[in-house]
Structures are given as C-alpha cells and as structure tokens.
A and B are shown apart, each in its own frame.
Chain A
Amino acid sequence: MIAEIGHYALMLALVLAIVQGTLPLIGAQTGIDSWVAVARPAALGQLFFIAVSFAALTYAFVVSDFSVAAVVKNSHSAKPMLYKISGVWGNHEGSLLLWILILATFGGAVAAFGRNLPPYLRARVLSVQGLIGVGFLLFILLTSTPFERVLNPPADGNGLNPLLQDPGLAFHPPFLYLGYVGFSMAFSFAIAALIEGRVDPAWARWVRPWTLLAWCFLTIGIALGSWWAYYELGWGGWGFWDPVENASFMPWLLGTALLHSSIVVEKRDTLKAWTILLAILTFSLSLLGTFIVRSGVLTSVHAFATDPERGVFILAFLAVVVGGSLLLFAMRGPALKSGGLFSPISREGALVLNNLLLTTACATVLLGTLYPLFLDALTGEKVSVGPPYFNATFVPLMVPLFVALAAGPMLAWKRGDLGGAMARLKFAFALTVIVALGTWYMRTGGPVLAVFGMALGIWLVAGSVLEWAGRLKLFAISPADSWRRLRGLPRAAHGMTLAHIGVGIVIMGITGVQSWTEESAKVMRPGETISIGEYDLTLKGARTVEGPNYSALRGTFDVSSEGKYITTMEPETRSFRTSTMTTTEAAIRPTLTSDLYAVIGDPDGKGGYATRFYVKPLVHWIWTGSMIMVLGGFVSLSDRRHRVGAPARSRSTVTLKEANA
C-alpha cells in the first residue's frame, strides 16, 4: 500500500510539473498574471508529492518490505539501519528518485525564498525547472519505477554490494546530486534570461549563490568519493580518470569557470553571453554524466547496471534540453550586449584567463573520455585512454592557471598593474624558492617535477595570504585598524582567500602522493620484518575473524621506527557470505605529513601471506585542501550580498532592511 502511495504521488508530481513547466512560461510571455502566479504553488506542490514518494520508498527499505523489487535487490533485513537507508539511493531507480527530490527541493527553495526576484523572472525560472522535472519524472515512471512489486516476496533480500556498505559512500551520492542538480538553477536562470533577453549585474547576483552552493556540494561529493576509494579499494589510489569520475569532474571544472565568470558579469556587466553559455554547458555536462553512468556507452569500474532503453531515453532528453537551450542561445545570445571595457591586464583579464584554461581543460577531459566511443563509432577500432593521457594534457593547462591565480586577485578591475602585483608577490616568490630548494634538499631522489609542484602549491598559498593581508593593510597600519578592515571586508573576500589556499594545499597533496609514494609488495611469514620509508613492520601473525555478515583474514603488524614501537596495524581481507566479492580493509596510520597504508592478501599456502605497504606522503592534504575550498565557498555564501533572495534590481529599502536583519 505504501509503495502504491509512493508511485501515485510521483504521477501527481508529474501533473504538477507539467503545469509548472507550461502555464507560468506562457503567462510571462503573454502577460497573464494569474498564470504566472501558478508557478509558486505548483513548485511547492511538486516538492510535496515527490517528498511523499521518497518517504514511501525509504519506509519500504527501513521496514525491509520484500514485496518491493528494489528492496529485494538492494537490501537485506540484517543490514545496519544506515545502509538500509543508503540502500534507497544505492541503485539506479532509487538514486533517480533522489535526484528528482533534490531537483524539486531547489525549485521549492526558489518558490519559497525567491520573493525578491521579479515575478516574471521567477516564473520563468520555475517553469524551466518544472520542464526538467517533467523529463526526469517521465524517465522514472516509464523506465525505472522504484515501486515495482514482486509477485512472490522472498524471505530476505539480496543485500547491498559489500563495497558500498561504508559511511563514506553512504553520503557520497546525495552530495554529488546536490551538486549536479544544483547547477540546474544556474541553467534555469540562464534560460529565463535568454527568454527575457536581459542579463545584468542583478541577474548575476541572483545566480551566484545557487552556483556556489552547487559547487560546494559537488566538491564535497567528489572529495568523499575520492577518500572512499583511497581507504576502501585497497590500492591507496585516490583518482583514476575513470569515465564515471570524469563525468563529475567535468561539471566541476565548468562550474568553477562559471563561478568566476559570473563575478565579471556582476561587477563589470560584461562576458554576458559567455556566462550564459557556461551555465547551460555546466548543467548539460551534469546530464551527460547521468547518461554516461546509466546508459553503458562507456565501460567504467563503477556504473549502474545498464539498459539501452534507458540510454535512449536519457539521450533523447539530453537532445531536447541541451539542443533546445543551445538553439535558444544561438538565436538570442547575439542580442546580449556586452558593456564594460577593460585592458587584458586586469581583474577581468585574469578571470578570462581562468575561464580559458578551465574550459580548455574540461574540453580535454571530455575528448579523452569520449574518444574511445568516437573511434569505435567511426572506425570500429578500440583504444584505451587512461591516466597517462589525462596527466599529459590536463597538467600543462593547470600550471599556468595556478601561476596566474596568485596574481589575479591583486589586479584592479578594468586595468591592472602587473608590476605592482608582482612586487607585492615578491615575498611569496621568495618563499616559493625556499620551499623548492628545501624540497630539493630533502627529496633528492624524487622527480624534479615534484619540486615544481610543491613550489606551485606554496606560491598559491602564500600569494593568497598576501593578497588577503594586503586588503587588511596588515603591518602597514595599526593592528586595531587592520582589525577594523578585517571586519569591514566582505565575507566573499575571505571565502575567496580560503578557497584559493585550499587549491594550493590540494596541489601539494597531489604532488606529494604522486611523486614520493613508496610501495612494497612482499610475501611475509609471521615473524618477518620489512622496512618501508622510516617504518619497520613485523608480521606478528594472521588469523580468521568472524564479522556479522563476513569472515575476515586479519593480519597483525607491529610498527616501529628506529627501534621504537609506534603502533599495531590490523588490515583485513573480508569475504562476504552473500556475495562472492572480497573487500580489502586497509589499515591506515595517518600523520600530518604521510600515511602508512597496510594491506594483507591471500596466503601462499606455505605459511606466508601476500602483503602490500605504502607510504603516501601528504595524501590527506588532498581532502583537507578540498574541505578548505568548500569552507571558503560557504563563507562566501554567508556574505549578505549573496544571501539567497537578498539582492534586488534596484536597491529598494525593503531589500536593505532584510539584508541587515
């Protein structure tokens, strides 16, 4: 009964989405205000019914209702509650419902909090959101309903893939979807602006918080996935340039470009058509990611069970949404007049360079990801495009980006003083040289590029801090005055500094782990000791231990350094009873500067065990840096100028009152 309610609610939501996608749009074109007014209640109603539907599916998973096919396939009564709930989106159908719920939530948020938007703009935005919703609701209802019943309910379910029973992965998809779907807001605003034929600084101020929010969530989602892969897959890898990873990385790259170009629209009223195009393309890449993951056109280590029928549906949807919006862009884009003039050496110029490099990098990743498919389609020849290609093409584009990043924020709008910026950066430059030499001295064995990478990272961190200090006039004026300037600085400025520092830390983390990882694979017998990095590890023994739904081989290693005992590590290999799969539970000892990573594998039948150890320098900096970037995003979001709904076209007293409240 509950499942039927869920299904029925989805159909009602579809009806409301159709209303939301049509009436307000027509109303705004023809000036029928009563039709325009339909947008808000329709969006809120759609959200309500989708929430009901999602709650119904969650209920079925929580109470283990094995008359529902999705529950049978993806759950098990003995599973911990967390994984019963995460099982809701641990499959194609349920994850699609989560996607739709998030889409409706964003629509509902505009309806509820977008009071300061001009009514016609809001109606158009909600209509476009409604149309996207129609597509996804049709998709789920026609090809992938999660509420399908089974005729003869089994006593228990098939369980969830053991690798997915992990807290990191339980929350990975929701964040990822919040990011993907969040970009639909920028998209809807872009389409609404094209229909209106009007893009101005106020428009950019409305779009920015939504884009920033989506970007923060996507960053969290990607970082969570990377972290999970690191500790769960047993190889200490944190990124593989897999098509499915690229599918989320591409919208991230373009979304980052969009964040920066919308600043130019907001401050200088130029780059308008380009920003609109970026908004369309960012969301298009989110949709393309959905297509790649769910259609099976590319092989990936991680993909949903695929189905060509679904692939055709998503492709058709993609063609309508992306093709339609790009056609609209081709027709209306030329009408968007650019305003402000500027010299190439200026803040605008720096942001254009940022966009050039990020967009090219994104196009490169897209080319590499889809090339096997292109070649197969054209010639039937199969090739593999792996990490060596992506590293060779992506890194050279990022290096100038990061070099310029330190100087960019120091340039003035319209016309900047590069010499002045460089002079202000001389301290950063000195620090960079010191770090480079220090790195060289400490790691003479490592690759030369590593020295460069560390230098680049510190250049960014130091440059960002200097720029921030410069705004406070730190040490130039009295500390009290600096404090006053600090208080007066918009939060967005702090956010930018934090985010850029985060990037620098990520770069150093990547450099460290890619350049100086030490690894050792050995067959060890109990009592034997191996040395890796500064550590000596002694295998004390290995035994079989029983878990709730698996049995594991657990090795015990004593770790010491220079003869001093440090800790004991106990990696496991787990064999699950409901699955033929085994998972590796690596033992990881993190420190600030490096991780010691231990894995135990199969016995060799002669009393020895296959073991693998890694020392991974700076690896945690990758995720720490990512979180600092996210923190920067949220700090920036808390800026009252970015508060959702706060800005208005003409700064009315109402807005000011609200913003100050």
Chain B
Amino acid sequence: MRLGYVIPFVLFFALAVALYVGLGLKPRDIPSALIDKPVPEFNLPPVKDHDKGLKTADLKNGEVSLVNVFASWCGPCRVEHPVFMALSKTGEVALHGINYKDDPDNASNWLARYGNPYTRAGADRNGRVGIDWGVYGVPETFVVDQGGRIRYKHVGVMTQEILDKRIMPLVRKLKSKQ
C-alpha cells in the first residue's frame, strides 16, 4: 500500500517528460492529408495580364515541380518572393503558382512590380481550388513528382535555408528516380 503514495510522483514524472518533448513540437503545423496522393482535379485561368493558367495535366507531365500558393495581400509571401525569383533563374525545377483569393488587378500589379518567378500561375479567385489542395494559410509550397503526386508540403515562408536543405534535396531525389 506504501506504493500507492509513489504513484502520483511517477505519473507526474511521465507527464513532465511528455511536456518537455512537447516543447520541441510545433502544434500549429497541420500535416497535409494529401501527401503521396495525386494532385486534385482543377483548372485555373491565368492571373490577369498573364497567359498561362494552371491545371491538373500541367503537373502530370513527367516533370518534378513546385507549386507555391501566394497572394498579393499576404505579407509573408513578399518575404519569400526573392527566394523564388532566384530559384526560377536557376531553372533547376519548374515552379508554378496558385494565386489564392486575390483581386485580379492587385495580383497582376504585384507580379509586375516584384517579378514573376512562375512558369504557370493560376488564379483561384474564390479559394475553392485552395480548399481542394488543403490550403489553410498562405504561403504554402508543395513538391509534386513526375506522376503528379504531392510529395511534400511546406507551410509558411520559404527561406533559402529550407529550400536548400529540405526542398531541393527532395526534388533531386525524385528526379533521380525518373
């Protein structure tokens, strides 16, 4: 029965360990339900003043691609924009954009002013395609393999570091599997 008095301490010890592990976790990151699933069926018209929209078939053409969800009203998108501009110059991987719930004029001006890194950019004006992609905040960036399967999703600002350490190695690995 003496043992009974030790139980609270033992339980608390376990709790404290769990809380310590919990400190290192990121509860705000919601895992994508679409990992290793084919990209959704969609067909978006181009952003105003541009000529290439984005549709499902564009992501199933045997090429590894990145799909970046952005909007002119999204501050962090502006932060990550130079990273994508630099990436598009290297031409190492195809980069497409989904312009999420944006005003056509604002989107067009935004791309005109800061540059357009996207090969194709579709305008998702009412956000329905965004929901199909499981988007819950912008910016978000997806890695799509040759067969049009989503392999990775990054939520939040894309930094050079994340691109170099996580995204590009995955892209290269996917490419080598050809």
Q: Do chains A and B touch in the complex (CB under 8 A)?
A: yes
A interface residues, Cβ below 8 angstroms from B: 273, 277, 280-281, 284, 291, 295-299, 308, 311-312, 315, 318-319, 322-323, 326-327, 329-330, 333-334, 370, 372-374, 376-377, 382
Expressed in whole angstroms, the Cα–Cα distance for A298 and B22 within the complex equals 8
Q: Is the CB of A311 within 8 A of B23?
A: yes
Min CB distance B131 to A, Å, is 18
- Could you say which residues of chain A place their CB within 8 Å of the CB of B24? 308
- Could you say which residues of chain B place their CB within 8 Å of the CB of A326? 8-9, 12
Q: Is the CB of B23 within 8 A of A297?
A: yes
Expressed in whole angstroms, the Cα–Cα distance for A284 and B5 within the complex equals 17
Expressed in whole angstroms, the Cα–Cα distance for A373 and B23 within the complex equals 9
- The answer to whether A323 and B27 touch (CB under 8 A), given A297-B22, A315-B16, A370-B18, is no
Query: 8 Å CB contacts to A: which residues of B4-46?
Result: 5-6, 8-9, 12-13, 15-16, 18-25, 27-28, 30-31
Q: Is the CB of A330 within 8 A of B9?
A: yes
Question: Could you list 21 examples of A-B contacts with CB < 8 Å?
Answer: A273-B5, A284-B12, A296-B27, A297-B23, A297-B27, A298-B27, A308-B23, A311-B23, A315-B16, A318-B19, A323-B16, A326-B9, A329-B5, A330-B6, A330-B8, A330-B9, A334-B5, A372-B27, A373-B18, A373-B22, A377-B22
Q: Does B177 contact A (CB under 8 A)?
A: no
Known: A277-B8, A334-B2, A373-B22. 5 other contacts (CB 8 A): A334-B1, A334-B5, A372-B27, A373-B19, A373-B25
Closest chain A residue, CB of each to CB of B11: A326
Q: Is the CB of B5 within 8 A of A281?
A: no
Interface majority SS (helix, strand, loop, mixed), chain B: helix
- Could you say which residues of chain A place their CB within 8 Å of the CB of B28? 299
- Could you say which residues of chain A place their CB within 8 Å of the CB of B31? 382
- Could you say which residues of chain A place their CB within 8 Å of the CB of B19? 291, 297, 315, 318, 373
- Could you say which residues of chain B place their CB within 8 Å of the CB of A295? 23
- Could you say which residues of chain A place their CB within 8 Å of the CB of B16? 315, 318-319, 322-323
B interface residues, Cβ below 8 angstroms from A: 1-2, 5-6, 8-9, 12-13, 15-16, 18-25, 27-28, 30-31
Interface majority SS (helix, strand, loop, mixed), chain A: helix
Min CB distance B137 to A, Å, is 13
Expressed in whole angstroms, the Cα–Cα distance for A659 and B8 within the complex equals 39
Closest chain A residue, CB of each to CB of B13: A323
Min CB distance A12 to B, Å, is 32
Expressed in whole angstroms, the Cα–Cα distance for A284 and B8 within the complex equals 12
Q: Looking at the complex, which one of B2, B23, B27, B30 makes contact with A312 (CB distance below 8 Å)? A: B23
Closest chain A residue, CB of each to CB of B2: A334
Closest chain B residue, CB of each to CB of A366: B15
Expressed in whole angstroms, the Cα–Cα distance for A421 and B98 within the complex equals 71
- Could you say which residues of chain B place their CB within 8 Å of the CB of A297? 19, 22-23, 25, 27
- Could you say which residues of chain B place their CB within 8 Å of the CB of A311? 23
Q: Is the CB of A322 within 8 A of B25?
A: no
- Could you say which residues of chain B place their CB within 8 Å of the CB of A323? 9, 12-13, 16
- Could you say which residues of chain A place their CB within 8 Å of the CB of B18? 370, 373-374, 377
Min CB distance B41 to A, Å, is 26
Expressed in whole angstroms, the Cα–Cα distance for A333 and B9 within the complex equals 12
- Could you say which residues of chain A place their CB within 8 Å of the CB of B25? 297, 373, 376-377
Q: Looking at the complex, which one of B5, B13, B27 makes contact with A333 (CB distance below 8 Å)? A: B5
Expressed in whole angstroms, the Cα–Cα distance for A393 and B18 within the complex equals 23
Expressed in whole angstroms, the Cα–Cα distance for A299 and B9 within the complex equals 27
- Could you say which residues of chain B place their CB within 8 Å of the CB of A327? 9
- Could you say which residues of chain A place their CB within 8 Å of the CB of B30? 382
- Could you say which residues of chain A place their CB within 8 Å of the CB of B12? 284, 322-323, 326
Expressed in whole angstroms, the Cα–Cα distance for A468 and B160 within the complex equals 72
Min CB distance B9 to A, Å, is 4
Q: Is the CB of B9 within 8 A of A373?
A: no
Expressed in whole angstroms, the Cα–Cα distance for A308 and B2 within the complex equals 38
- Could you say which residues of chain B place their CB within 8 Å of the CB of A299? 27-28
Closest chain A residue, CB of each to CB of B7: A330
- Could you say which residues of chain B place their CB within 8 Å of the CB of A377? 18, 21-22, 25
Expressed in whole angstroms, the Cα–Cα distance for A322 and B13 within the complex equals 9
Expressed in whole angstroms, the Cα–Cα distance for A173 and B36 within the complex equals 46
Min CB distance B3 to A, Å, is 9
- Could you say which residues of chain A place their CB within 8 Å of the CB of B8? 277, 280-281, 326, 329-330
Min CB distance B73 to A, Å, is 10
Min CB distance A32 to B, Å, is 31
- Could you say which residues of chain B place their CB within 8 Å of the CB of A277? 8
Expressed in whole angstroms, the Cα–Cα distance for A284 and B27 within the complex equals 23
Min CB distance B36 to A, Å, is 16
- Could you say which residues of chain A place their CB within 8 Å of the CB of B2? 334
Q: Is the CB of B27 within 8 A of A376?
A: yes
Q: Is the CB of B22 within 8 A of A330?
A: no
Min CB distance B176 to A, Å, is 27
Min CB distance A367 to B, Å, is 11
Expressed in whole angstroms, the Cα–Cα distance for A569 and B175 within the complex equals 64
- Could you say which residues of chain B place their CB within 8 Å of the CB of A372? 27
Expressed in whole angstroms, the Cα–Cα distance for A298 and B27 within the complex equals 6
Closest chain A residue, CB of each to CB of B9: A326
- Could you say which residues of chain B place their CB within 8 Å of the CB of A319? 16
Expressed in whole angstroms, the Cα–Cα distance for A333 and B15 within the complex equals 21
- Could you say which residues of chain A place their CB within 8 Å of the CB of B15? 370
- Could you say which residues of chain A place their CB within 8 Å of the CB of B21? 377
Expressed in whole angstroms, the Cα–Cα distance for A322 and B20 within the complex equals 15
Expressed in whole angstroms, the Cα–Cα distance for A179 and B151 within the complex equals 50
Expressed in whole angstroms, the Cα–Cα distance for A320 and B7 within the complex equals 17
- Could you say which residues of chain A place their CB within 8 Å of the CB of B9? 323, 326-327, 329-330
Q: Is the CB of A330 within 8 A of B5?
A: yes
Closest chain B residue, CB of each to CB of A322: B12
- Could you say which residues of chain A place their CB within 8 Å of the CB of B6? 330
Min CB distance B31 to A, Å, is 6
Min CB distance A262 to B, Å, is 18
Expressed in whole angstroms, the Cα–Cα distance for A327 and B5 within the complex equals 9
Closest chain B residue, CB of each to CB of A280: B8
- Could you say which residues of chain B place their CB within 8 Å of the CB of A298? 22, 27
Closest chain A residue, CB of each to CB of B3: A330
Closest chain B residue, CB of each to CB of A281: B8
- Could you say which residues of chain A place their CB within 8 Å of the CB of B22? 297-298, 373, 376-377
Which 9 A-B residue pairings sit nearest by Cβ, starting from the closest? A326-B9, A377-B21, A333-B5, A297-B22, A373-B22, A330-B6, A299-B27, A330-B5, A311-B23
Min CB distance A459 to B, Å, is 35
